[in-house]
Amino acid sequence: MVTTIVQGRREKHRWSREALTDAFVAFLSASWRHSDIASAHPPAHAQGAAQLADQYVEMRNQLTRLRLLSTTEVLTAGEGLLRMHRRIQEAQSAEQLTLALSAASDGRRVVVAAAKKDMGLD
């Protein structure tokens, strides 16, 4: 009986950690794709705008998963990065786009640091 309980807890912990890892990876991958698209196609370009919107939605969906699985620190970092990506989409000039892309790059580093801390990988 005790063995069954302990194994159940281990399985739940392992599942939670794997789900959290998947959410982090998907969130950051969508962030990178968003930045790559913005670099290749200005946000005002119709094709670029649609692709940016798709990646933004993916980031928002993954952030919802992170809300369920991670700490407040991770969630705060993720929300900040999502706002930075909104600024990329709203950039009206090449200079604004460059600044927004740089901020998103810094924001990804903050998310990674928070994720590593949350997962005990520091």
Contact present, 89 and 104 (Cβ < 8 Å): no
- State yes or no: pLDDT of 12 exceeds 80: no
Q: Residue 120: which region, alpha, beta or left (left: phi > 0; alpha: psi -120 to 50)?
A: left
How large is the average pLDDT for residues 47-59? 92
Measured between alpha carbons, how far is 113 from 40 in angstroms, rounded to an integer? 27
Q: What is the pLDDT of residues 85-115, one digit of tens each?
A: 999 999 999 999 999 999 999 999 999 999 9
* CA 103 – CA 39 distance, rounded (Å): 14
Q: For residues 78 and 66, is the Cβ–Cβ distance under 8 A?
A: yes
Give the pTM: 0.85
**Torsion sign over Cα 114, 118, 122, 11:** negative
The pLDDT confidence band at residue 51, using thresholds 50, 70 and 90, is very high
Spatial separation of the C-alpha atoms in residues 117 and 122, rounded to whole Å: 5
Q: Note the residue count of the chain.
A: 122
Burial of 111 (0-12, 13-18, 19+ CB in 10 A): buried
Is the pLDDT confidence value at 2 over 60?
no
CA distance 26 to 22: 6
Look up residue 51 and give its two tokens. Answer: 């692709």
pLDDT band at 84 (very low <50, low <70, confident <90, very high): very high
